[in-house]
Amino acid sequence: MGEPAIERLRSTVVSKLTDVPKRILIGRALRSDRLGETLLPKRIALPVFASDPLSSVAYAPGEVLLVLSIAGVTAYHFSPWIAVAVVVLMFTVVASYRQNVHAYPSGGGDYEVANTNLGPRAGLTVASALLVDYVLTVAVSISSGIENLGSAVPFVVEHKVLCAIGVIVLLTLMNLRGVKESGSLFAIPTYVFVAGVFTMIAWGAFRGLVLGDTMRAPTADYVIKPEHQGLAGFALVFLLLRAFSSGCAALTGVEAISNGVPAFRKPKSKNAATTLAMMGLLAVTMFCGIIALAATTDVRMAENPARDLFHNGVPIGEDYVQNPVISQVAEAVFGKGSFLFIVLAAATALVLFLAANTAYNGFPLLGSILAQDRYLPRQLHTRGDRLAFSNGIVLLAGAAGLLVGIYGADSTRLIQLYIVGVFVSFTLSQTGMVRHWNRLLATEQDQTKRRHMIRSRAINAFGAFFTGLVLVVVLVTKFTHGAWVALLGMVIFYATMTAIRKHYDRVAEEIAAPEGPSDDSVRPSRIHSVVLISKIHRPALRALAYAKLMRSDSLEALSVNVDPAETKALREEWERRGIDVPLKVLDSPYREITRPIIEYVKGLRKESPRDAVSVIIPEYVVGHWYEHLLHNQSALRLKGRLLFTPGIMVTSVPYQLQSSEAAKRRARRQAEWNAPGSVRRGPAQVRSKESTEHKS
Q: Cβ of residue 67: shortest distance to a copy of itself, in angstroms?
A: 43
Q: Cβ of residue 402: shortest distance to a copy of itself, in angstroms?
A: 21
Closest to a copy of itself by CB, 199 or 634: 634
How far apart are the C-alpha atoms of 134 and 117, rounded to whole Å?
Answer: 23
Residue 262 touching a copy of itself (CB under 8 A):
no
By CB under 8 A, name the one of 465, 546, 600, 673 that touches a copy of itself.
546
Residue 660 touching a copy of itself (CB under 8 A):
yes
Residue 602 touching a copy of itself (CB under 8 A):
no
Give me the residues paired with residue 615 across strands: 530, 650
Binding to a copy of itself, residues 376-435 (CB under 8 A): 377-379, 381-385, 387
How far apart are the C-alpha atoms of 597 and 592, rounded to whole Å?
Answer: 9
Beta carbons of 431 and 469 less than 8 angstroms apart? no
Closest to a copy of itself by CB, 438 or 554: 554
Beta carbons of 126 and 110 less than 8 angstroms apart? yes
Closest to a copy of itself by CB, 481 or 681: 681
Residue 523 touching a copy of itself (CB under 8 A):
yes
**What DSSP element (H or E) covers 197?**
helix 183-205
How far apart are the C-alpha atoms of 307 and 431, rounded to whole Å?
Answer: 44
Closest to a copy of itself by CB, 91 or 546: 546
How far apart are the C-alpha atoms of 523 and 511, rounded to whole Å?
Answer: 15
Q: Three-class SS of residue 74?
A: helix
Beta carbons of 64 and 246 less than 8 angstroms apart? yes
How far apart are the C-alpha atoms of 539 and 657, rounded to whole Å?
Answer: 10
Closest to a copy of itself by CB, 388 or 474: 388
Binding part of the chain for a copy of itself, among 159-167, 273-281, 348-356, 561-569 by CB under 8 A, reads: 561-569
By CB under 8 A, name the one of 220, 395, 500, 581 that touches a copy of itself.
500
Closest to a copy of itself by CB, 24 or 342: 24
By CB under 8 A, name the one of 6, 556, 653, 673 that touches a copy of itself.
653
Contacts of 341 (CB under 8 A, 6+ apart): 152, 327, 330, 331, 334, 335
What are the residue ranges of helices labelled H in 444-483? 447-478
Residue 2 touching a copy of itself (CB under 8 A):
no
DSSP state of 480: I
Output the CA–CA distances (angstroms, integers) from residue 95 to 27, 258, 433, 455, 683, in the order listed.
37, 12, 12, 11, 26
Binding part of the chain for a copy of itself, among 101-109, 325-333, 340-348, 638-646 by CB under 8 A, reads: 638-646
Beta carbons of 617 and 543 less than 8 angstroms apart? yes
Residue 650 touching a copy of itself (CB under 8 A):
yes
Residue 176 touching a copy of itself (CB under 8 A):
no
Output the CA–CA distances (angstroms, integers) from residue 609 to 46, 111, 558, 562, in the order listed.
66, 50, 20, 29
Q: Cβ of residue 693: shortest distance to a copy of itself, in angstroms?
A: 8
Beta carbons of 152 and 346 less than 8 angstroms apart? yes
Residue 263 touching a copy of itself (CB under 8 A):
no
By CB under 8 A, name the one of 6, 541, 583, 586 that touches a copy of itself.
541
Closest to a copy of itself by CB, 33 or 158: 33
How far apart are the C-alpha atoms of 659 and 681, rounded to whole Å?
Answer: 39
Residue 178 touching a copy of itself (CB under 8 A):
no
Binding part of the chain for a copy of itself, among 70-78, 225-233, 375-383, 418-426 by CB under 8 A, reads: 375-383
Residue 669 touching a copy of itself (CB under 8 A):
no
Closest to a copy of itself by CB, 450 or 631: 631
Q: Return left, alpha or beta for 392; rule: phi > 0 is left, psi -120 to 50 is alpha, else beta.
A: alpha
Residue 526 touching a copy of itself (CB under 8 A):
yes
Residue 566 touching a copy of itself (CB under 8 A):
yes
What is the amino acid identity at position 353? F
Across the beta sheet with 309-311, what order do the strands follow?
223-224, 309-311, 314-315
Q: Cβ of residue 575: shortest distance to a copy of itself, in angstroms?
A: 12
What is the amino acid identity at position 362? G
Q: Cβ of residue 151: shortest distance to a copy of itself, in angstroms?
A: 43
By CB under 8 A, name the one of 22, 233, 512, 606 that touches a copy of itself.
512
Residue 531 touching a copy of itself (CB under 8 A):
no
Contacts of 449 (CB under 8 A, 6+ apart): none
Contacts of 166 (CB under 8 A, 6+ apart): none
Q: Cβ of residue 4: shortest distance to a copy of itself, in angstroms?
A: 18
Residue 657 touching a copy of itself (CB under 8 A):
yes
Binding to a copy of itself, residues 23-62 (CB under 8 A): 23-24, 27-28
How far apart are the C-alpha atoms of 283 and 252, rounded to whole Å?
Answer: 11
Binding part of the chain for a copy of itself, among 87-95, 162-170, 394-402, 515-523 by CB under 8 A, reads: 515-523
Q: Cβ of residue 526: shortest distance to a copy of itself, in angstroms?
A: 7
By CB under 8 A, name the one of 228, 266, 537, 610 that touches a copy of itself.
537
Binding part of the chain for a copy of itself, among 76-84, 398-406, 446-454, 608-616 by CB under 8 A, reads: 608-616
Q: Cβ of residue 233: shortest distance to a copy of itself, in angstroms?
A: 54
What are the residue ranges of helices labelled H in 33-78? 42-55, 60-68
Residue 524 touching a copy of itself (CB under 8 A):
yes
Binding part of the chain for a copy of itself, among 193-201, 202-210, 246-254, 370-378 by CB under 8 A, reads: 370-378
Closest CA to 164 of 327, 33, 356: 356
Closest to a copy of itself by CB, 251 or 531: 531
What are the residue ranges of helices labelled H in 335-385? 339-372
What are the residue ranges of helices labelled H in 594-688? 594-607, 625-630, 633-642, 660-671, 678-681
How far apart are the C-alpha atoms of 530 and 534, rounded to whole Å?
Answer: 13
Binding to a copy of itself, residues 271-300 (CB under 8 A): none
Residue 630 touching a copy of itself (CB under 8 A):
yes
Binding part of the chain for a copy of itself, among 239-247, 393-401, 475-483, 541-549 by CB under 8 A, reads: 541-549
How far apart are the C-alpha atoms of 252 and 426, rounded to whole Å?
Answer: 10
Binding part of the chain for a copy of itself, among 74-82, 143-151, 486-494, 560-568 by CB under 8 A, reads: 560-568
Closest to a copy of itself by CB, 182 or 379: 379
Q: Cβ of residue 556: shortest distance to a copy of itself, in angstroms?
A: 16
The terminus-to-terminus CA distance of the chain in angstroms comes to 15
The footprint of a copy of itself on this chain (CB under 8 A) covers a number of residues equal to: 103
Residue 575 touching a copy of itself (CB under 8 A):
no
Closest to a copy of itself by CB, 228 or 506: 506
Beta carbons of 650 and 642 less than 8 angstroms apart? yes
Q: Cβ of residue 118: shortest distance to a copy of itself, in angstroms?
A: 22
How far apart are the C-alpha atoms of 152 and 222, rounded to whole Å?
Answer: 21
Q: Hey, CA dihedral for 472, 476, 480, 482, is it positive or negative?
A: negative
